[in-house]
A and B are shown apart, each in its own frame.
Chain A
Amino acid sequence: MIRLSSTDIDNAEGAPATDELRSSLVEGLVAELHDGVVASHLVPGRDVWVRVTADAWESAGRVCRDLLGCTYFCYLSVIDWLPSPFGRSMDSSVDNVLEGVAAKDPEPMTHGVAGGESRFQLIARLYDVNRHVGVNLKVDVPDDTLTMTTWTKLFGGANWHEREAYEMFGITFAGHPSLRKLYLPGDFEGYPLRKDFPLLARMVKPWPGIVDVEAMPGVADDEGGE
């Protein structure tokens, strides 16, 4: 589902129809970055997502920190939007009984809120501890270079998060002071959190599966099921 405008608003139940605080964050980013903001998505009373261009990534962080008051660095991570190439082979035989054995067609790559064009997307969250409002920043990582500008000059905490993104997804951060592996041994090959990295334990031994759920308290087995 791709939403390209901040006026496209999901009305969460009971939430106010407008959210001036969060929309002011989006407006602040648009005012500073102009074309750098590609898309945004706002759920009033809940959260806001802003997608920026790769060139505007560093300045987006700077604008949030210096002008919009989002000084708290929450996290930085990557989403790999490639549908898992292993299909149902990761499911257990029990699941196949319930859902049918037929292999599903390979799905097209779809992106989440605020859209996207590349396989890898960087997502970072910055927070304003005085106004208690946060912003989720997204950026498409160019498919050919898999390189992004570093945030380490803006936020000290970005150092480890970028190292984690580097070893788990293979994204390089230009200008990072010491882009080494964080968790994994130095000679580890592959990028474990990519969707095309097989989870060997699951392929070797089937998992008990979704039938293995207990009945909810106070609900008879035949109630509430799908």
Chain B
Amino acid sequence: MTAISERQQRAYIASQAADMRVNVELETEGMTLNIGPQHPATHGTLRIIVKLDGELVVAADPVPGYMHRGYEKLTEVRTYPQVNTLINRIDWLGSFANEVPFILAAEQLMDVEAPPRAQWIRTLLFELSRIANVTLFLGDMAVQLGAVTPVFYAFRDREYVLNLIESATGGRFHPNFDRIGGIKDDLPKGWIAETKQVMVKVNAFCDELEALLLGNEIFNVRTRGIGVIPPEVALSYGMSGANLRASGVDWDHRRDTPVGLVYDKLDWKVWTHPDGDSFARYWVRLQEVREAAKMVIQLCDGLPPGPIMAKVPRIIKVPEGEAWVATENPLGEMGYYVVSKGELVPFRVKIRSASFNNISIVPWLLRGVYVPDVITILASLYFILGDIDR
């Protein structure tokens, strides 16, 4: 029994290899390698089973679910404000950004609009979350290539941003600051001036990383032309965010459909890259951090006065209906499909998280790459485990 299945397995691998015209003449033996669930290069507990032919990957099968927490079920027994606490934990590096689309969906169903000041502060914290999230990627990507220094810079400068989020919301990682109809509190005194100073540091960090990495020969050899995703494949797998823009698709929810946020009042740019490789994904994210810093400064300058909370009932019942709201989160498009039956709790919440789609392309993408590139490609796709498993 075992002997037969092993033989079948080898035959399968050989046929796969033959299909792709790789390494057949050397007749290397097929091997199944298990990466993870605990592995430094997998950013959490993503397990990947790869079938190898020599150094070439002939098939890759990611096994998610080691961190599945069943949020879609749990939302069905929690009131709308309580759901907010849960969904903070989906993408834990940019927590505030998780709250916004859900709150906007609930507001859409209730026909409530947050006052302008609340919308500005929401956008401000949203972009700070993006900086806190993506700076870590910028450092971490270098670690996967063997350069340890950038990640220390990343942690250092991310700390300033986390301090800002903490002083405004009280939570470093899980702010739980957004409310249906507005936000929880106004910004503390002196926060605006401090934020502008931190943005100078963030810009300096981007310049520093650009000087360190983008011209580096090792970095270029390991990322250029590696893990190329054509735009039509990226769209068919539902990739979004910087991963999609690095494949040359010029689409950003912030610019094109800024529901409930004030991106249309700011001067900024959506960056795309035509190459679709690991380098492009890194480059686009680096520019996005710069744009985010630019936006934060404009948001600080233009912050309108006024109330931060619309009039909403103390006990929130959301009228019957269905709403879909998506925003451009640090990792890509994040959306909630909320079905309400007019009760205190949602009837059904479908959480569409960016990393789930972004990582579902891995079986397609890793076929035919070399083992060391598996690590850089995974790092360049940039996923958060909580965002895959939910």
Contacts and interface: CB of A to CB of B under 8 A. Distances in A.
Interface of A: 1, 13, 46-47, 49, 71-75, 77, 79-80, 84, 90, 95, 98, 110, 112-113, 123, 125, 129-130, 132, 134, 136, 154-157, 159-161, 168, 182-184, 192-193, 197, 199, 202, 207, 210, 213, 215-219, 221, 224-226
Most buried by B among A47, A130, A202, A217: A217
B227 interface: no
A194 B178 CA distance: 30
Contact of A157 (B65, B236, B309, B324): B236
Interface of B: 64-65, 68, 70, 72-74, 76-79, 81, 108, 111, 179, 181-182, 184-186, 232-233, 235-238, 240, 244, 249, 251, 256-257, 307-309, 311-315, 317, 320-324, 326, 333, 335, 337, 339, 341, 344, 348, 350, 352, 356-357, 360-361, 364, 389
Given A79-B339, A79-B348, A136 B311 contact: no
26 contacts: A71-B236, A74-B333, A74-B335, A75-B335, A75-B337, A90-B77, A123-B350, A129-B235, A132-B251, A154-B236, A155-B236, A155-B237, A157-B238, A160-B360, A183-B68, A192-B70, A197-B73, A199-B74, A210-B344, A213-B81, A213-B315, A217-B186, A219-B309, A221-B314, A224-B314, A226-B314
Main secondary structure of the interface of A (DSSP, over half): loop
Contact of B361 (A49, A95, A156): A156
Contacts of A225: 313-315
A95 B78 CA distance: 12
Contacts of B321: 112-113
A156 B73 contact: no
Rank and list the top 4 A-B pairs by shortest CB-CB distance, nearest first. A183-B65, A157-B238, A129-B251, A183-B68
B51 to A, nearest CB: 14
Given A75-B357, A192-B73, A210-B344, 11 more contacts: A72-B240, A75-B335, A77-B350, A98-B315, A112-B322, A123-B337, A134-B324, A160-B360, A168-B72, A218-B309, A224-B314
A210 B235 contact: no
Contacts of B337: 75, 77, 123, 125
Contacts of A134: 324
A75 B349 CA distance: 13
B70 A75 contact: no
Contact of B65 (A129, A182, A216, A217): A182
A37 to B, nearest CB: 18
A19 B304 CA distance: 32
